[in-house]
Every structure is written in structure tokens, then in C-alpha cells.
Structure 1
Amino acid sequence: MKNKFHVLVPDKLNPAGQSLFDARDDIETTTLHFPTEDELVAAAATCDAIAVQTTKIPRRVIEAAPNLKVVSRHGVGYDSVDVEALTERGIPLCVAASSNMVSVAEHTLYFILALAKKSVEFDHATRNDNFWIKRQMGAQDIAEKSLLIVGFGRIGTRVAKRALAFDMKVSVLDPYIEDDTIKAAGCTPVSNLDAVLPQMDFVSLHCPKSAETVNLIGKAQLAAMKPTAHLINTARGGMIDEAALYDALTSGDIAGAGIDVFAVEPPKPEHPLFQLDNIMVSPHSAGVTEQSILRMAYQTAENVLNVLDGKPDPNVAINKEVL
């Protein structure tokens, strides 16, 4: 029998993915639990692949793995992995690209609907003998409201489809997507963020975190938005200036926000945003459902096996140039 491939699993993989490895007689896995970087370096010395969830994979770990052929990320974000170090060695970083796009899109609509319908405020008031809060605080229809989607990839396109089903007017900002593609999806392409913000009732981020998107929404952008507008981020923390968002929410520059991701995770319990009533938060859980966890684990393992079998899928590779 040929030599086995060694797959390093820094975080326990759901059986939906682990079973793919276990079914192969040419694969052996090593699972670590909350490893230190030194432990990762030691384990990486003999690995051919890394299937990772939340553990950071820095350059030092990559350089310690002479046989490394692929890193597969359990999810779609990849800021925890040193992509540059992988690319320098011709190693692909694969993501579970199709696993949680529906889940994140649904979570985005959940934020939009809950904010518009004042769900948190109404629930709290009804439980506390304030049945007539509906006379003081008006819920809104989202039909005919204007939504700006920033980023029109797998998730942004699905948010658009769902928003259009609610009769929202959807605009899209994505410099990497052709206008005709956006129009074909029933949306309006826009090219200038600052120019279009004053027209929007909802703004939702669905772009990758990069040098050009860090603090994409700051003081100036928040000041440009309607005082009745809502901002939503189910993408990555750090793309909204959180101090500026706090100021905008307390001053009335915008009406509210739905935030699933934070610049530092997990955020401290005393985070200033948590003191406000006009923001909904969730624990970076937009892409985490019972169904998506199974899909992510399966595709994480599948991506590893495809590369080891010499059949890498360019659709899931972040650094496609190495294939």
C-alpha cells in the first residue's frame, strides 16, 4: 500500500467531514484541541494538509511543514491564514465556498426584518406590561425600501434575491462585477459609495476583508447616511469603524445596526456597542446553522482530498494562481 497522507486537524472536525478522511485507507489524521503555535509547528512537520476551523495558521506554521500541499478552511473567511506565505510556496488555500452562503444571506434578512419591525423593542415591551409601545415606536415595511449591497459574490447575490422577493429596491456596489451582471440580477449597479449612501435605507456588507475594505464605513460614511437608515455587517469585523458606529448610533446619525462580526473577537462584555438599544448583535454566527456546519465540514475535507488526489477545484481556491 502506498504511503499515507497525513492531515493535520487543529480543531475537531464534524463527523460529516471526518468520515471522508476515515473512509480512505491512504489518509491518517491528527486532531489537536486548542493548540498553541508551538504545538502546531511541531505537528506540522509531517503533515501533507491542514484542515482548519478557527485556529490561526501563520507563516511560522507553514514554513515548518515541508510536505504541505493544501490548507483547507472550514468556512469562507481566511484572514486567520497567511495566504502570502502559502502562495510563495505554491500551496493553495481552499475554503468551503458554497457551505454557508444561504445561512449568511438568511441572517442578513433576519437583521433587516428585525430592525425594521422593532422586534427586540416590541418583545421586551410586551413582556414588561407595555402593550401600547406600538403607538410610540413605529415599525416599518421593508417593501420599497432601498438596500445597498456592498460585494456581489456568493452571499451578496443571495441577499439580493431574497431582498427583491420582499420588494426592496436593491443597489449593488462591487467594482469587480460587470454592470450587466448586476442588472441581470434585477439590481442597480453603483460605483461611488459616498455618493449613494444618502439614498439608502439599509446598507449591508458582503465583501472580503482586505486593505481596501478595512474601515470602509467610518465617520464620514455614517454621517452621510439617512438618520432613518440601518447598517448591517455579516461579513468580517474591522470593515466598520466601531467607535464611529457607536457615535453615529448615540447621536442619531443612523437609526440602528445589525452586527454579527467585530474587530476583536470575542468582544469584551463591556464593549460600548453592547450598551445601546438600537443595535442587534450576534456572535459571528450568521454562517453557523445545523445545516451549514455539516456542509462546511464535508467541503473542508472534500477540498483536502481533491488536492491530494491531484484534482483541485479552482472555484474554492483563494490563491488560484498557484494551481
Structure 2
Amino acid sequence: MASNKKKIFITESFSQAGRVLLGERDDIEMVEFPNMISATDFQTKLREHAPVHGVALGATRFGETELEASGDMRVVTRIGVGFDAVDVPALSRRKVPLMVAGTANSPSVAEQAMFMMLTLAKRASEMDSIVKDNKWPSRLGALPYDLFGKTVLIVGFGRIGTRTAKRCLAMEMNVLIYDPYKPAADIKAAGCEAVADLDAGLPRADFVSIHCPKNPETVGMFNAARLKLLKPTAYLVNTARGGIVDEKALHQALVSKKLAGAGLDVFEQEPPPADNPLLALDNVITAPHVAGVTREAVDRMSEQTARNILSALDGTPIRQNVINQDVLG
């Protein structure tokens, strides 16, 4: 006899907080899968368990083939806010909503951006090694910088960019915003200055912090020509997505002293190959794409993802978390 339960695929990174919400429902069956599962293995697993009605994705790609394998997919969710690994048009063709975790991880990413700016400006690695390597007499040869009074250009004024701006304002920085989709009046109301032309804003910036989505418009946005517009004393921080910054151009700018340093949580290829030349530079700090993956953020994202799934299965998807609004009635 066929089961009336809705089968939900959840990645291993789904936290206990989210599992509890799904587990409270007697009409839900959870099936776990590895976060970094290969496309072939994921498709096989979907076919084995079909029909599958919902999925909570980490880094796994999802598109037409996965929709076909699942049999009866009704909602695709991301335990996060990025969705460049999901074929949104394929979901829309089948009237399947793609849902993201809203603001659940935005404070964490904003904190990481701030941390990277401070780490670079305060030359944290160098200062630490001066003490540990007994180089105390050289401590005044590489003085750190203040964020106070400096100008930061934030690219993207959405969930994360707005929070990053608040933190920069608290550090008494001058905050410029480039976001062609946000009214200048809203940016001004937040205590920031709207920049209509990115190329005009870059020469003014001491720091650039990237918080825009990855899409055809933003891939390669920071190419060699744009990086040349920055001051040689400026720092670039990317906690958004790899590919928005041209890594070869960034490396060239850094080694030629046309840029002071960079903080990268994301890369064009993840994980980056061991011979990625950026990894050999002392003026580059890195993190393994975890800006939005703190203990608290994982709980918040998983809980929101569980609510997203249940709302869609119950016929009332949380509208503000649906990416492909065209599937809504």
C-alpha cells in the first residue's frame, strides 16, 4: 500500500533545529544525503526513493535531471540564500517554487565581511607573527590602519549589504552603496551615499565589500579594468560568490602592488586547487565559503528551510522567500 507521507530529502548539514520542525509532522518522512554528493549519485538516490516531494539543498546542484528523477517534486529549498547551482527556469517550467532562507544568515555574512576588513587593516597575521616569531623590534615597520574615517564601497544593498553597512557606520566609516536596483532615497535614509556609477565609486574606496548575487550581470564584474580603478592602498573583500572577481586579474593587481590586499571567502573553483597563486600571497586572507555558516546561522537557516518546505507542501509558500515568483498564483 502506498504511503501518504511526503518524502523530503535533507542534506547532512541540516541542523537538529530544522529536523525537529519537520519531525513534528506525522505526514513527513526525512531522507538524508551527503552535502557534497556527486550529481550521478544524487540522481540515483532520488530515483531510488521516488516520489520525492521536497529537498533541502546545501551545495548540491539541482535542475531538470533531478526534477525528472524525483518523480513528484513540489518544493526545492536552499539552506542559504545563494541559488546559482539551481536551474531556476527548469523549476518554473514545472511550477516548482525555489525557496531560500531569507535573512537567516545575513548577520553572519556581514560579520565575516567586517572581520575580514578588520583583519586586513589591522594586519592581524603580521602582528601575530611578530610576537610569536620574536620579531618585536620590527613591530613599528608595518603599522596597521584604522577603519575610522575610511570610505567603504558596498556592492549590493540587499539582506547582507544593508547589515554590512550598519556595521561599517558603527565603525564611523563613510559608506558608499552601489546597487542599481535600490532607490537612492532608501540608501540615503540608511545613512549611506548612493553611487550610480560603479566605476566612479571605485577610486574613492579604501575598502570594497561585495554582496551582490552571482548572475550573468555580475560574473567578472571585478575584472582587470575595474581593479585598476582602485587605490593601491585599497582592500577588496568578497563574501558573495566566486566568479564575481576575476582571480587572475586580482592576483596581478596584488603582486604588482596596485591593490593592498584581499579577503576571500569564495573562489571561482571550490575548493580552490592547491596551486591557486592567490593562496601563496601574504596579503590575502581566506576562508572556505563559511561566511554564512556559523553555528547560529545553520540553526536559523535550517529552521527557516523547514518552514519553507512545510509552507509549500501546505499550499501557502512563504512568498518573500520564493525566488521564482512566477510559480505563485
> TM-score normalised to the size of structure 2?
0.95
Contact 2:130-2:139 within 8 A present in 1 as well: no
The CA distance in 1 between the partners of 2:49 and 2:179, in whole Å, is 38
Aligned positions of 1:1-323 closer than 5 A: 3-11=4-12, 13-33=14-34, 34=37, 36-43=41-48, 45-323=50-328
Q: Which amino acid aligns with 2:185?
A: D
Aligned partners of 2:49 and 2:256: how far apart in 1? 50
- Distance (Å, rounded) in 1 between the aligned partners of 2:294 and 2:80: 12
CA distance in 2, matches of 1:214, 1:126: 41
Contact 1:11-1:52 within 8 A present in 2 as well: no
Taking the aligned partners of 1:226 and 1:41, their CA distance within structure 2 comes to 51
Partner Cα distance (1:55, 1:165) in 2: 37
Instruction: State the distance in 1 between where 2:242 and 2:184 align.
Output: 27
Secondary structure, counterpart of 2:70 in structure 1? coil
* Secondary structure, aligned partner of 1:90: coil
Secondary structure, aligned partner of 1:29: strand
Structure 1: gaps of 5 or more residues: none
> CA 1:318–1:133 in 2, change beyond 3 Å: closer, same or farther?
farther
- Report the 3-state secondary structure (helix = DSSP H, G, I; strand = E; otherwise coil) of the residue aligned with 2:209: strand
Q: Please state how far the C-alpha of 1:37 moved relative to its aligned partner.
A: 3.7
1:201–1:228 CA contact under 8 A, matched in 2: yes
Residues 222 and 244, structure 2, Cα contact 8 Å, conserved in 1:
yes
Name the CA shift for 1:43/1:76 in 2 (closer, same or farther; >3 Å).
farther
- Is the CA contact (8 Å cut-off) linking 1:41 and 1:60 kept in structure 2? no
What SS class does the counterpart of residue 224 from structure 1 fall into?
A: coil
Q: What secondary structure sits across from 1:176 in the alignment?
A: coil
**Distance in 2, Cα, partners of 1:281 & 1:198:** 24
How many aligned positions are there? 323
Residues 206 and 320 of structure 1: CA distance in aligned 2, closer, same or farther (over 3 Å): same
Aligned partner of 1:250: which letter? Answer: V
Stretch of structure 1 that moved more, 15-24 or 144-153? 15-24
For the aligned residues, what is the CA RMSD? 1.5
Contact 2:43/2:69 (8 A) holds in 1: no
Give the superposition deviation at 1:43: 4.1
Partner SS, residue 267 of structure 2: coil
SS in 1 for 2:52: coil
Query: Retained in 2: the 8 A contact 1:44–1:64?
Result: no
Query: So what's the TM-score if we normalise by structure 1?
Result: 0.96
Whole-Å Cα distance in 1 between the matches of residues 28 and 256 of structure 2? 57
Paired with 2:170 and 2:42, the residues of 1 have a C-alpha distance of 47
Q: Please, which moves more after superposition, 290-299 or 129-138?
A: 129-138
**Contact 2:91–2:98, Cα closer than 8 Å, also in 1:** yes
Could you tell me how far apart the structure 1 residues matched to 2:284 and 2:208 are?
Answer: 14
Name the aligned partner's letter for residue 6 of structure 2.
F
Give the CA deviation at 1:12: 5.1
Q: Deviations over 1:216-273 (max 9, x none)?
A: 0010111110000000000001000000000000001110000000011011122110
What's the offset of the Cα at 1:32? Answer: 2.3
In the TM superposition, structure 1's runs of 4+ consecutive aligned residues that sit over 4 Å from their partners are none
SS in 1 for 2:4: coil
Q: Residue 64 of structure 1: SS of its match in structure 2?
A: helix
Moved more, 35-44 or 299-308: 35-44
Structure 2, unmatched stretches of 5+, are none
One-letter code aligned to 1:102: P
Letter in 1 for 2:17: A
CA drift at 1:165:
0.5
